[in-house]
């Protein structure tokens, strides 16, 4: 793959080298040495994967050393960025010595395939771009209110009725392909199945799952979030998440939990009765926490860790200590990071990197200038922030504009999450990012 990136793309006509030009020393090969007895070649990348590498470029043989295969992949990417072509079609590389490792272990891109379906090809193209930028997590926001493209093995009617059409689905084979394509690039795939809100498309293929909304005594015919008071809900979720746990090999599943609208629950007489029985009064955040709690227990029983959006923490659901909380609300996110880590939870930052918000001009600068650890807290708290994600929500994004909207803007986020805290010079970054954009084309 990297040979092709470096030498296969040569489109320039080779000119004739001027007479008398001196012959430079030649680099004849790059040796890749993976030192660990268990290099990880046949396993999946995970949060604790070692991505460090050491690259020495001197003639005649350059050496790339890494402890695990994941470090070797990052080093190959760096080496490919050092190679450039001159006007005469020769390939050149500067003598270099590089000792490199990521600052944060979780460096993610969120793609949303529900608001608009993304064909397999555009997901794979973006996995390539992620590898070019040393991202290592695809947060796959696969379903939402608008459509349910994931073809379930246990519950095929979810996509039969909930997808935009029969063509707009991801079959089990598609999902396996994405996971393997990502693995070969050192990228984890973390699926998100967001409940109890954001679930309108689930209701089409799963009757009785959503809460019927009422106007006075009468059902209105519309539906709200998942119905948290029925045993059938939890029976369904138990089977469904059992499947998800076996289909997706990563140690984590994202369970969502954001933006739950309580109006429909408040209108439903059975829900109100249940609230009274449970002693929740009129605090619907307690009902949400009751539901989330049950889902968390189901997922834990399959030996999976889980990630949630910040509302789950804000609404005081009982969380297991190893829960990962994703902070997305832009207003005062430093304070939220402080609260989440202060409570002992691991955090991921997405708030300043919502790339679906676009503006005229060079908005990459504001993404680049974020300092993730710039929040009040002890050293111990700072260690609990394991990284961040650039999110591209799909309301106005499909295959036609996905790549140019995401790249190279996300490259600025990639560098912020990989490089040392003191690499902050905007002019310097501008030069590198403009070159990198051409390289990615």
List, by residue number, the catalytic residues: 259
| Nearest-angstrom CA–CA distance, 103 and 101 | 7
CB 338 within 8 A of CB 382: no
| Nearest-angstrom CA–CA distance, 64 and 61 | 10
Reading the block at residue 158, the tokens are 């979810």
DSSP state string for 150-216: B--SS-THHHHHHSSSTTS-B-HHHHHHHHHHHHTTT-EEEEE---SSS-HHHHHHSTT-EEEEEET
| Nearest-angstrom CA–CA distance, 84 and 6 | 8
What size, in residues, is the chain? 441
Axis crossing angle, helix 120-132 with helix 172-183, rounded to the nearest 10: 10
19 Cα distance to chain centroid: 52
CB 97 within 8 A of CB 57: yes
């Amino acid at each position: 793959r990297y040979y092709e990136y470096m030498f296969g793309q040569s489109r320039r006509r080779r000119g004739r080298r001027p007479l008398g030009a001196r012959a430079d020393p030649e680099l004849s090969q790059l040796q890749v040495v993976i030192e660990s007895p268990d290099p990880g070649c046949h396993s999946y990348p995970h949060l604790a994967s070692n991505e460090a590498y050491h690259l020495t470029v001197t003639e005649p043989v350059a050496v790339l050393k890494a402890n695990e295969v994941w470090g070797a992949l990052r080093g190959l990417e760096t080496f490919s960025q050092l190679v450039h072509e001159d006007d005469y079609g020769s390939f050149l590389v500067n003598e270099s010595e590089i000792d490199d490792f990521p600052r944060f272990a979780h460096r993610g891109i969120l793609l949303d395939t529900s608001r608009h379906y993304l064909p397999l090809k555009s997901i794979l193209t973006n996995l390539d771009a992620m590898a070019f930028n040393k991202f290592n997590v695809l947060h796959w926001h696969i379903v939402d209110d608008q459509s349910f493209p994931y073809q379930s093995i246990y519950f095929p009617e979810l996509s039969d009725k909930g997808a935009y059409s029969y063509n707009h689905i991801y079959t089990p084979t598609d999902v396996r392909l994405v996971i393997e394509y990502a693995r070969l690039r050192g990228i984890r795939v973390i699926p998100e199945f967001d409940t109890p809100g954001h679930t309108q498309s689930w209701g089409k293929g799963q009757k009785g799952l959503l809460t019927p909304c009422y106007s006075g005594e009468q059902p209105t015919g519309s539906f709200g979030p998942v119905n948290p008071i029925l045993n059938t809900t939890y029976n369904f979720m138990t089977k469904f998440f059992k499947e998800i746990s076996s289909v997706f090999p990563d140690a984590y599943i994202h369970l969502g939990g954001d933006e739950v609208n309580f109006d429909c629950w408040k209108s439903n007489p059975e829900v109100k009765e249940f609230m009274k029985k449970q002693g929740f009064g009129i605090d619907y955040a307690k009902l949400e926490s009751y539901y989330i709690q049950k889902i968390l227990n189901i997922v834990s029983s399959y030996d999976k860790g889980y990630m949630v959006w910040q509302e789950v923490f804000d609404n005081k659901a009982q969380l297991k200590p190893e829960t990962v909380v994703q902070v997305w609300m832009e207003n005062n996110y430093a304070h939220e990071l402080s609260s989440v880590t202060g409570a002992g939870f691991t955090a991921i930052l997405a708030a300043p990197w919502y790339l679906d918000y676009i503006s005229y001009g060079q908005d990459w600068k504001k993404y680049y200038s974020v300092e993730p650890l710039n929040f009040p807290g002890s050293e111990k708290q700072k260690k609990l922030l394991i990284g961040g994600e650039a999110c591209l929500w799909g309301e106005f994004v499909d295959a036609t504009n996905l790549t140019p909207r995401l790249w190279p803007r996300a490259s600025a986020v990639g560098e912020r999450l990989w490089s040392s805290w003191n690499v902050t010079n905007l002019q310097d970054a501008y030069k590198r990012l403009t070159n990198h954009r051409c390289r990615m084309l």
